[in-house]
Amino acid sequence: MTNRPSPSRSGAGSDSPTPLSTHETEIRVRYPECDPMGVAHHATYPVWFEIGRTEMLRATGGNYRDLEAAGVFLAVVRLEVRYRRPARYDDVLRLRTSLLVAGPVKIEHSYELFRGDELVAEARTTLACLDRSGSACQIPPGLQIGA
């Protein structure tokens, strides 16, 4: 996978806030992610979105391992996906992950998955910040932006 941080851009839709930051990651559709017809299974897309969030955090110098070691856990509490076109085995996809909101206890991302210039899927997630006991807690100051 290739990671390319990109500058913030204005939101694609009127109901989407302007992203605070955007990151792009390249993903190749692997054989075990597909059904017998070579089409990527719908359950694979949330895994790709997780890759987008992880690589976005890594591009800023952070990582989930350190957050979890500090007792901070980010749990997906909402996921919405709109599938536009099928992704197929060996396709090279470009995932654009945008940070929409970060703080004080939730983080929202949007995702656009492209094959070339063609939109394959779009999605949105909300993550809650939890402590070791599973209770909601404050997002660490380094992740709170645009609250």
Output the domain CATH number for residue 60.
3.10.129.10
Q: Structural domain of residue 103, as residue ranges?
A: 3-10+17-143
Instruction: Return d(Cα 102, Cα 92) in angstroms, integer.
Output: 30
pLDDT band for position 100 (cuts 50, 70, 90) = very high
89 close to 96: Cβ distance less than 8 angstroms: no
Instruction: Return d(Cα 35, Cα 88) in angstroms, integer.
Output: 9
Q: What is the tens place of the pLDDT at every residue in 40-90?
A: 999 999 999 999 999 999 998 889 999 999 999 999 999 999 999 999 999
Give the total number of structural domains in the chain. 1
Residue among 147, 133, 16, 17 nearest 72 (CA): 133
Instruction: Return d(Cα 72, Cα 129) in angstroms, integer.
Output: 7
- What is the pTM (predicted TM-score) of this model? 0.85
| Cβ partners under 8 Å of residue 125, min gap 6 | 49, 53, 76, 78, 79, 80, 108, 109, 111
Residue 33 gets which letter from DSSP? Answer: G
Q: Which residue is it, tokens 């094959």?
A: 115
The structure tokens listed for 62 are: 């952070």
